[in-house]
Amino acid sequence: MPTHHTDSFDLLETSVAAVHDAMANGAVTAEELVERYLARIDAYDDDLNAILTVNDRARDRARDLDAQFERDGFVGPLHGVPTIIKDNHDTHDMPTTAGSTTLADSQPSRDAFIVDQLREAGAIIIAKANLQELSFGVDTISSLGGATRNAYDLEHRPSGSSGGSAAAIAANLGLIGTGTDTCSSNRSPPAFNDLIGVRPTRGLCSRTGLVPLSETQDTPGPIARTVEDAARLLDVMAGYDPEDPVTARGVGQVPDDGYTAHLDADGLDGARIGIARQFFGLQGDADEYEAVSEDDAAAVTSVLEDAIDDLEAAGATVVDPVDVVDTNWLLSARVLAYEFARDFDAYLETLGDDAPQESLAAIVDSGELAPSIEARFEGGEILGTDQDSLDDNTGYLRRLERRRELRDSVLATLADHDLDALLYPPSTVPPVTVDEHQPFEEMNCELSAHTGLPAIVTPAGFTDDGLPVGLELLGRTFAEPRLFELAYAFEQATENRVPPEQFGALELE
């Protein structure tokens, strides 16, 4: 093990910029960073249960990067940065399991497009994180990894499906991370773990090599402790992929100077933020809930009210309320039940003869899924759709058309009120306890997911019980630079990010 520079470099809550400064000053090496993060995983993940696979080649990768640094300097914008990726990203050197024992031995022959981009930028994939099995739900429970815990209270859930990545980054088991978002997964887990999460505009980031849930909704995105690191990560993740034609939409949309150039501490001065009140408070029937109540929703709303005051104090004009969309119309655009089996089976085909299963139906029939995930397939809605007739399925095609109409309607609302963004809670209630399931009805995920518009989540504060609450901002198509600017200004004005107490420095640090 290399010598640790314990007196000159503080690992906890560090950033990419701080790591690179320390490397340039000789205070830390990539190998030392990897050793220290691996030590934290070893010490803390038994409690957190966020990590599925540790990369046994991470040390070798770090040594190679250190040697290159000695010769030529930094190899890229993420040089030597220990990164945790969700285990639905294909990796040629580690299994890609989607959290399922049925895929435990699945090791693709090549990396996902964004994984390749991360490595090209110098990132070190230190581990792969647990997730809601097959990404199907919002709890982060899997047959392979069990249940991940919330970094701020181990008796509570981290949300999902990217809960492993979020909990791990919150607990400083890695420096930055990735998730994928179908309808909440890159937003509610960061919100529940006091982090930044980004759902990019549809077409900005490639889905090639990601285990899919819904082709028209899936997108990868950054998870980080700071807005700056989320912007650095999106700088690397965004890009055109010929194998994913939807990314042609993003060509020319990434700023030439990168997203980090759009971080302005005064970015809220003169901004106009619309408050989407229809997404505050319980969305479901309180009488039918056992896990949450009106009081839980009121606790989240109280935190958001303080955050709105902070926005105004930082110079923003708040337009309150703004009517955005008819909720029934929004819900009527759901297509996951049509797409899941089709897209998952297409992914298995990309694995060729090495595919461990022949279809989603075979995985469900295996009896190996976690019980709560298996129960979601009951009724046959997911597996009963005729995949060969989707191009002629009027119900499916109507829902896709509704999405276009929804996007145009939301964009018109932003234009009519001259808004930079809409604001609402990513979840109307805090994290539930681990003996309950997070109610999907309380996840405000569908406005961004169904329109393809970008959204960013940032820490808003804590409930009286010490549970994190997030604030979500939704913007125009490819308006990520403006969203980063707003979120950065809010972050700098409030300093709401607080590390979890139970995952402090180790003695060797």
Please tell me which residue in 135, 142, 162, 185 is annotated as part of the active site.
185
Which residues lie closer than 8 Å to 70 by C-beta, 6 or more apart?
Answer: none
**Active site annotation includes 128:** no
Neighbouring CB atoms inside 10 A of 298's CB total 15
Classified as helix, coil or strand, 42 is: helix
Reading the block at residue 21, the tokens are 């400064």
**Active site annotation includes 161:** yes
Q: Where are the beta strands (DSSP E) in 245-361?
A: 272-275, 317-319
Q: Which residue has the tokens 């971080």?
A: 263
Please tell me which residue in 142, 159, 161, 184 is annotated as part of the active site.
161
Closest CA to 456 of 257, 261, 170, 181: 181
Burial class of residue 21, CB neighbours in 10 A (0-12, 13-18, 19+) = middle
Inter-residue contact 474 to 462 (CB < 8 Å): no
Burial class of residue 255, CB neighbours in 10 A (0-12, 13-18, 19+) = middle
Please tell me which residue in 86, 100, 165, 188 is annotated as part of the active site.
86
Inter-residue contact 89 to 131 (CB < 8 Å): no
For the chain, the straight-line distance linking the first and the last C-alpha, in angstroms and rounded, comes to: 14
Rounded to an integer, what distance in angstroms lies between the CA atom of residue 72 and that of residue 68?
A: 6
Reading the block at residue 31, the tokens are 């190998």
Q: Which residues are the active-site residues?
A: 86, 161, 185
